[in-house]
Amino acid sequence: AAPPYVPALVVGTGYGAAVTALRLGAAGIKTTMIEMGQLWTTPGKDGKVFCSTLSPDRRSMWFNRKTKAPLDTFLWLDVVNRDIGTPYAGVLDRIDFPNMGVYVGRGVGGGSLVNGGMAPTPQRAYFEKMLPQVDADAMYKRYFPLARRMLGVNSIDPHYLEKTPIYKFARVSRRHAHQAGFKTTVIPNVYDFKYLQREEKKQVPRSALAGEVIYGNNHGKQSLDKTYLADALGTGNVTIRTLTRVTTIHQQGKGYLVGLEQIDAWGKVIRRSEISCGSLFLGAGSVGTTELLLRARETGTLPDLPAAIGAGWGTNGNVMTARANHLWDPTGSLQSTIPTLAIDNWNHPKYPSFAEIAPLPVGIETFASLYLAITVNPERGRFTYNHNTDRADLHWGAHQSTPSIRSAQFLFDKINKAIGTTYRRDLFTGNRAFAADFCYHPLGGALLGKATDNYGRVRNHPGLYVTDSSLIPGSLGVNPFVTITALAERNIAQVLASDLKRR
């Protein structure tokens, strides 16, 4: 029998995919979304959908026997990562390449399920530098405000921030930054800060105050399943297939034929099938989308895909570090997992950085100040297709992380000097003070204006679109999901108006 046909197929259910599906559905176009992860709505034996960072189980990681948290050790002890039993379709994946581990979310909602919810908008001047071909006026007047509204972005009550014990860690780091002459800023978030205040008063079940974040939040966070995807399903034109991975893409007439592999939650392949579509939107994330396109080009199913695919990948300059505070500077034993302040040294001419003040929510006093810094790192990685493994390989040399470390070190050396403190060397293997060998913000691989036109249309391939973080050239200067969302809104508006209006 001929494979089933849908007018529009969207790969993935992260930010780019969710925006695209909602706008297609709202325009009356029947759309199917394909997601390799699970729909996270069914509670486990403990009555919870997600497990916490303090007692992770099989739900935490995508097919692993042990957790792979960003911190390796604590006080040099192997107490951070835990055995989690039989490999299972858990919510957080770490894709390990030589010299670089890339964290991604798996499930309906993609990265929104596991991320810290931080929702800043990039500085306009830097956005214009990174994406000069995009009309910044339209972005800053229309699409950024739209994205923030749709995502449910809110900010902490400033009075609450000043007095609550759950942000003592943030206030301590802020004071240290100010003493060293640096500015700080409040970062908006999609976690509902009103809910958080009620958590503290024990009026509602705890999530940010129960160590929940990178393995999912059971409450409080307005992840995509509660925003864009709920609205997309509400159009009546969008359906989502879960635990199904897109494997191949072929041209078929004026549309595309897509290979699918469906698994059960323990990874057993239960069905291989095909689906054909008129328009195909790739929203599988920076690694996922780039891999699908590279495989199609290199195995000859879409041999005319542009040579630019696979190039221009970056880490958004991510680097993590921690400082050891004095014993008279405790950071608090109850910490919110949701960050809310950052040190803003972005305008430094040589060593720009935007360093989020991160919690270390382990339930005891640690006297530690933890940071995830976003820096300018001009280095770019490149993906190639590996015929033996059928996967994309990332080429990123260890030395390519050095610019990120230098910028962070400039900032934190000054803070340590002003406060008389040192780095914590017990958290990352090898007594390192800085970890720039993993990233939360993979960007690039199918760049806007290079692999695609200025609206995400893949060159020489009518009806094939890229909608996600792979469009962005390696760096944004702030956490990326608001920008990914806004860019997807802008692109699909154009595509609906000019390519799909007569379907």
Q: Does 444 bind ligand FAD (CB under 6 A)?
A: no
Q: State how far the alpha carbon of 306 is from the alpha carbons of 256, 446, 450, 499, in Å.
A: 17, 9, 8, 21
Subset of residues 290 to 319 that bind ligand FAD, contact rule: CB under 6 A: 292
- Judged by CB under 6 A, the residue of 110, 220, 444, 473 near ligand FAD is 110
Residues touching ligand FAD: how many (CB under 6 A)? 39
Tokens representing 312 are: 């221009």
Q: In degrees rounded to 5, what are phi and psi of residue 424?
A: -85, 125
Q: Does 88 bind ligand FAD (CB under 6 A)?
A: no
Is residue 37 within 8 A of residue 224, CB to CB? The reply is no
Is residue 109 within 8 A of residue 40, CB to CB? The reply is yes
Give the binding range for ligand FAD (CB under 6 A) out of 77-85, 198-206, 283-291, 495-503.
Answer: 283-291
- Judged by CB under 6 A, the residue of 6, 15, 340, 415 near ligand FAD is 15
Q: Does 445 bind ligand FAD (CB under 6 A)?
A: no
Output 180 or 458, the one with its CB closest to ligand FAD: 458
- Judged by CB under 6 A, the residue of 35, 225, 437, 489 near ligand FAD is 35
- Judged by CB under 6 A, the residue of 481, 489, 490, 500 near ligand FAD is 481
User: What three-state secondary structure class fits 492?
Assistant: helix
Pinpoint the alpha helices (H) of 58-214. Answer: 124-130, 136-138, 144-151, 158-163, 168-179, 193-200
Q: HEC string of 9-35?
A: EEECCCHHHHHHHHHHHHCCCCEEEEC
Q: Does 484 bind ligand FAD (CB under 6 A)?
A: yes
Is residue 297 within 8 A of residue 308, CB to CB? The reply is no
Any catalytic annotation for residue 159?
no
Is residue 371 within 8 A of residue 411, CB to CB? The reply is no
Write down the catalytic residue from 199, 212, 356, 379: 356
Any catalytic annotation for residue 200?
no
Q: Which residues contact 46 (CB under 8 A, 6 or more apart)?
A: none
Give the binding range for ligand FAD (CB under 6 A) out of 29-37, 161-169, 346-354, 414-422.
Answer: 29-37
Output 111 or 278, the one with its CB closest to ligand FAD: 111
Q: Which residues contact 378 (CB under 8 A, 6 or more apart)?
A: 403
Give the binding range for ligand FAD (CB under 6 A) out of 103-111, 156-164, 232-240, 445-453.
Answer: 103-111
Q: Does 441 bind ligand FAD (CB under 6 A)?
A: yes
Is residue 178 within 8 A of residue 343, CB to CB? The reply is no
- Judged by CB under 6 A, the residue of 284, 309, 342, 435 near ligand FAD is 284
Write down the catalytic residue from 176, 219, 441, 461: 441
Q: Which residues form the interface with ligand FAD (CB under 6 A)?
A: 11-17, 34-37, 103-106, 110-111, 114-118, 214, 245-246, 283-286, 288, 292, 440-441, 468-469, 479-481, 484
